[in-house]
Amino acid sequence: MTRVNPLLHRALVVNLVLEVLIVVTGGTVRLTRSGLGCPTWPKCTPASMVPVADQAQGFHKFIEFGNRMLTPVVSAAALLVIVAIWRFAPGRRDLRRLAFLPLAGVALQAVVGGITVRLKLNPTVVSLHFLASMVLIVLSAYLVRRAAEGDRPPRPLVRPEVRWVALAATGVLTVVLVLGTIVTGTGPHSGDINVHRYPFDPRTVSWLHADTVMLFIGLCAATWLAVRLSPDAASASRPWLVVIGVALAQGLIGFVQYFTKLPEALVLAHMLGASLLVVAMTFAILALRARPAAP
């Protein structure tokens, strides 16, 4: 690990935290059935950019509009990432190539969010909206870690077989996230009262999702053990313990919310946990390599 300018590190961490936060606020919009509180986009109503007094959506319009107002905040953080990399990481061409991606991702997400509203919370588009947020979180976590690495080519710390198992765990986590959106798309928290849902049996997709989580935890445990036994990568096993811990907590929340009829607070905690799991997995994968700085 190399020494990172404190201001650059703070800018990257703030960007990551806000990417996670906007997932939580988006979940709040859905769980309060405020997804169509502003029934159109980019305006809140056909005649106004902001909620108006005679609007029929009640308090829902303020919740949805408040979530929209987080987009400029996240955009400012992404812009700050660009400035910080250019100012405090001179010569890091690798970081400069990635610097604009968070801002571009936020802009794309805003468009996808607008399409979601215009299509009346179509569950497929809502799923894509959530998964795109996960990609942005991965990118933001990668930047935090990458800034602390050098610019030489990476050197693996574990055998190829261990990396394959770790990559398999990453693939299974992707399936877990996709199935999670399908479970949500068949459940009661649609974001509005009259919204089309996936035509699947909620019980079946929930248990399929749970089985995939178990497979993911098993692969992570195997990776942790293999990394722990690798002579050059003992310290790299700690991030995998974090992944296992977060995944077990997620599994517990998932089972409790299933058997308690999906209370809103637990669903929101589950969404936060999914974001934290993606962050932990990104750090764990990157811990399997060393990348020293060039002289």
Q: Could you tell me which of 22, 30, 18, 24 has the C-alpha nearest to residue 269?
A: 24
pLDDT of residue 112: 93
Q: What is the DSSP string of 35-99?
A: TTSS-SSSSSBTTBSS--TT-TTTTHHHHHHHHHHHHHHHHHHHHHHHHHHHHH-TT-HHHHHHT
Per-residue tokens: 147: 């800034």
The three-class DSSP label of residue 236 is helix
Terminal CA-CA length for the chain: 14
For the chain, 295 residues long, give each residue's pLDDT as a single digit of tens.
Answer: 667 789 999 999 999 999 999 999 999 988 888 888 888 898 888 888 888 776 666 678 888 888 999 999 999 999 999 999 999 988 888 899 999 999 999 999 999 999 999 998 899 999 999 999 999 999 999 999 999 888 788 889 999 999 999 999 999 999 999 999 999 888 877 666 667 788 899 899 999 999 999 999 999 999 999 999 888 777 889 999 999 999 999 999 999 998 898 888 999 999 999 999 999 999 999 999 988 765 5
pLDDT of residue 206: 92
DSSP H/E element including 155: strand 155-156
* Whether the Cβ atoms of residue 247 and residue 217 lie closer than 8 Å to each other: yes
289 class by beta-carbon count within 10 Å (0-12 exposed, 13-18 middle, 19+ buried): middle
Phi, psi of 156 (to 5 degrees): -65, 140
Q: What is the pTM of this model?
A: 0.93
Length of the chain: 295
* Whether the Cβ atoms of residue 19 and residue 136 lie closer than 8 Å to each other: yes
Per-residue tokens: 146: 């990458």
